[in-house]
Amino acid sequence: MFKGSNVALVTPFKNDKLDVETYIKLIHFHIENGTNGLVPAGTTGESPTLSHDEHEMVIDLCVKESKGKLPVFAGTGSNSTEEAISLTTHAEKIGADGALIVTPYYNKPTQEGLYQHYKAINDKCGIPIIIYNIPGRSVIDMSVETMARLFELKNIIGVKDATGDLSRVDKTLEKLGKEFIQLTGNDDNALEFNKKGGVGAISVTANIAPKLCSDFQRFANSDNDNDIKDAEKLNEILQPVHHAMFIESNPSPVKYAAKLMSLCDDAVRLPLVKVTDPTKEIVKKTLKVARLI
């Protein structure tokens, strides 16, 4: 099962080119610090501004460098069904454990259009697929009923829920059962999300606090009361960090935080820009309080 703390990996750049050496170091940083799974080429990995070759390369590197030590769920979504099929079949071919596929943005398909989009991808591949439902960026919201239809297909196994609506966890659990994997895409609601039946997160904060996030998830997924208390303590430490990562558009704040920790440069690709000085001060202060720097 894909659960626990799964990092939505940033893509480091140098002179506006993919910084391969630093990317490999980041992958090993997560292997060594307890991250439970790797998610390359997602929104946090700036997939909209990666070339097709770069997109495939970051997935290739992730699979190669993890060497089976961590599961890799590659970001292979697109608002073009054919492109999503191409990226997903490539990820399968080179050994990714699964695919994270975002709902098609900008096109605004109907629920039937969403179903047919994912069915077309499902029918062309043989690896597990996690639906990425993020209305804030995609404009559309996949309904629980549509997910239930998709769960009947061979490869659809779960959802990354970035709606921010905790009631969706209950509705999804009631309709699809415990076998359907529910991961939050919102770091700040991870504790309550797990209490309601979720099993983990695809996390932005895990880029800079992998051990804290993995320890938190391990405790939060426990049935032991003492572990839950430990999860609550870690949640208090992490909440200011979570919020600081979204003061400006993701991944600019987390890349600045990574720079402060000497993990990678804070370069992002237009139309994203580096964070402003006031945001820098907040991020810096937050990391110091959390003892990350």
Q: How many CA atoms lie within 13 A of 65 on its CB side?
A: 22
> Quick one: which H or E segment has residue 203?
strand 200-203
Q: Which domains does the chain have, with CATH numbers?
A: 4-227 (3.20.20.70)
Annotated catalytic residue: which of 3, 23, 115, 160? 160
Would you say residue 1 has pLDDT above 80?
A: no
pLDDT tens digits, 31-61: 999 999 999 999 999 999 999 999 999 999 9
State the average pLDDT over residues 103-118: 97
List the structure tokens of 15: 């002179």
Annotated catalytic residue: which of 115, 132, 255, 256? 132
Would you say residue 121 has pLDDT above 90?
A: yes
List the structure tokens of 112: 């039937």
pLDDT band (50, 70, 90) for residue 2: confident
**160 assigned to active site:** yes
**Rounded mean pLDDT of the chain?**
97
Query: Phi and psi dihedrals of 100, rounded to 5?
Result: -105, 120
**23 assigned to active site:** no
Letter string b/e over residues 240-258, b meaning 16 or more CB atoms within 10 A of that residue's CB: bbbebbbbbebbbbbbbbb
pTM exceeds 0.85, yes or no: yes
Q: Which residues pair with 130 in a beta bridge?
A: 100, 158
